[in-house]
Amino acid sequence: MMIVHDFNRGPYPARVRIALAELDLQDKVRFVEVNLRTGAHKRLEFLEKNYSGTLPVLELADGTFLAECTAITEYLDHLGGQPRLTGISARERGMIHMMNKRAEIEFLDPISVYFHHATPGLGPDVELYQNPEWGEKMRDKALRAACYFDEVLSTRPHIADETFSMADITVVAAFIFADIVQLEIPPHLGHLHEWHTRMVARPSVQGWKEMGRATESSKHRT
């Protein structure tokens, strides 16, 4: 059985949880919580699993540790030999990876920077350096990205193309983070909000918090 090291309320761990649900792999993993608010992800014990000190991390049965949501999703998507989230054809794979990267660096990651620099973030024991001005700039970058994705969704039903993919999951995570930091996605972005309404209706997106409760239970068992 694989182990997912994560934080059950984190937007980045949510990406892997949604992927697991989409691929019906929940029964193949066990969740172990790493408490971000106590800085457990920056301690040597965890850094030996992931040099970057970020979550989530997928631990394989042979002792391999896979970090980064894109890499984890790629691995999970190819377990069954019929990828559903990362594309099959060369064009699909190219489009999905391009849009997933844009979703990360233009939308999700800037919200993360805003959280860590322009809000109390994880608290003074973890946030040892903050640059509020930089955080505010990243907030504005995220809002510009929301406008970009609204335009993208004016021409197609999903972020990368015609079907649900890893790129959609990443933008869903951006919405999750925006809700945490109370960053309003401008209501006039109708295409983006209509897309989001469809996404939150998916069982995998509805259920990622339920998987969060499973993490709490596994935390007490380990």
Q: pLDDT per residue over 84-139, tens digit each?
A: 999 999 999 999 999 999 999 999 999 999 999 999 999 998 999 999 999 999 99
User: What percentage of residues in the chain have a pLDDT greater than 90?
Assistant: 88
Give the pLDDT score at 9: 87
Q: Are 168 and 159 in contact (CB under 8 A)?
A: yes
141 in the same domain as 188? yes
CATH of the domain at 213: 3.40.30.10
pLDDT of the residue at 210: 74
Model confidence over 64-98: pLDDT tens digits?
A: 999 999 999 999 999 988 999 999 999 999 999 99
For residue 129, the tally of other CB atoms under 10 A from its CB is 6
Q: From CA 222, how far away is CA 205, in angstroms rounded? A: 26
CA distance 138 to 136: 5
Q: Are residues 72 and 141 in the same domain?
A: no
Residue 80 has what pLDDT?
Answer: 84
CATH number at residue 94: 1.20.1050.10
Mean pLDDT across the chain, nearest whole number? 93
How many other CB atoms sit within 10 Å of the CB of residue 181? 18
Q: Are residues 13 and 29 in the same domain?
A: yes
**What pTM does this model have?**
0.93
Same domain, 104 and 48: no
Tens digits of per-residue pLDDT, 143-168? 999 999 999 999 999 999 999 999 99
Count of the separate structural domains present in the chain: 2
**Shared domain check, 210 and 177:** no
Residue bearing tokens 């039903």: 157
Do 76 and 142 belong together in one domain?
no
Could you tell me if 67 and 120 lie in one domain? no
* 3 state DSSP class of 62: coil
| pLDDT > 70? residue 206 | yes
In which band, very low, low, confident or very high, does the pLDDT at 213 lie, cut at 50, 70 and 90?
A: low
Distance between CA 157 and CA 167 in Å, rounded? Answer: 12
pLDDT score of 207 more than 90: no
Domain that holds residue 20: 2-84+206-221
Residues 37 and 100 in one domain: no
**169 contacts 15 by C-beta, under 8 angstroms:** yes
The residue-averaged pLDDT of 204-221 equals 62
Together in a domain, 161 and 144: yes
Compute the chain's Rg from CA coordinates.
Answer: 17
> 76 and 39: one domain?
yes
DSSP E strand boundaries for the chain:
2-6, 29-33, 57-59, 65-67
